[in-house]
Amino acid sequence: MSSLDDRRALIATACRVLAHRGLAPGVLGHVSLRIDEEHCLVRCRGPRERGLAFTEPADVRLVTLDGEIVDGADGYAVPNELPLHTEVLRARPDVAAVVHAHPPDTVAADLAGLAVRPIVGAFDIPGAHLAAGGVPVYPRAVLVRNRALAGEMVAALGDRPVVILRGHGLTATGASVAEAVLRARSVDTLAAMTLAVARAGGIPRDLPPEDLAELPDLGGGFTHDTAWRHEVASLPSP
């Protein structure tokens, strides 16, 4: 990804994937990508706003980490929750991309007191490993609209890849846009499975350690590249 235009297109595609998978219904949610120490690209709201499912590359603007749009985008505004992205990027040099979404199953499972745990195995190997490390929860159901609140969320996130925002949604991170989106999807898949088990009268139980240890690392070429191509190919035709 050498040009800003390429990266704008990637973020726009990621927004459409989030909407298609039900993680960011309506007009809420955004994706960002670090450009350098002072700038990121982020999905902004423009004069033709129609929701994430209809995101175009022009909706993705170059902004400073202090929230100034620097590429002449008349009529565009940064997300109210831009600090959610920028504070993660400031605190976590290992993170290149941040996804903020509002998946209903993730919210519902947390409100029901059901933690996202490694309850499945080969059904979703990357998700099982992610959940085995723990998915923390930021307990305030607020709009993360300033650096102080974002700092609280970042503290809850710690060194983990995803944090659930109680009564709100989730924030997922990654070394790439694809990785951040796929992590958000895995967490929501696990949350949906947890809810389904609970509705059926069962008790979600962690995999035994020996089963978790047996799950292989299938490599980034499969878990990221192939999975991402599937997500993009599954998008409805424009």
For 201-227, the pLDDT digits (tens) are 999 999 999 999 999 988 777 788 999
Reply yes or no on whether the pLDDT at 188 is more than 80: yes
- What was the pLDDT predicted at 218? 83
Measured between alpha carbons, how far is 99 from 195 in angstroms, rounded to an integer?
23
- What was the pLDDT predicted at 72? 73
Task: Tally the C-alpha atoms within 13 A of residue 72's C-alpha that lie toward its C-beta.
Answer: 0
For 122-157, the pLDDT digits (tens) are 999 999 999 999 999 999 999 999 999 999 999 999
* CB neighbours of residue 12 within 10 Å: 20
For 4-233, CATH number out of 1.10.760.10, 3.40.225.10, 3.40.718.10, 3.30.460.20 equals: 3.40.225.10
Tell me the H-state helices in 21-140.
82-91, 104-111, 125-132
Please report, rounded to a whole number, the percentage of residues in the chain having pLDDT higher than 70.
98
pTM above threshold 0.85: yes
- What was the pLDDT predicted at 2? 63
Instruction: Show me where the domains of the chain are located.
Output: 4-233
Q: Tell me the pLDDT of the chain averaged across its residues.
A: 95
Active-site residue, selected from the candidate residues 38, 49, 81, 231: 81
Measured between alpha carbons, how far is 153 from 148 in angstroms, rounded to an integer?
9
Q: Please classify residue 122 by burial: count the beta carbons closer than 10 Å to its beta carbon, then call 0-12 exposed, 13-18 middle and 19+ buried.
A: exposed
- What was the pLDDT predicted at 11? 98
- Identify the band that residue 47 occupies on the pLDDT scale cut at 50, 70 and 90: confident
Q: Is 231 a known active-site residue?
A: no
For 84-120, the pLDDT digits (tens) are 999 999 999 999 999 999 999 999 999 999 999 999 9
Reply yes or no on whether the pLDDT at 1 is more than 80: no
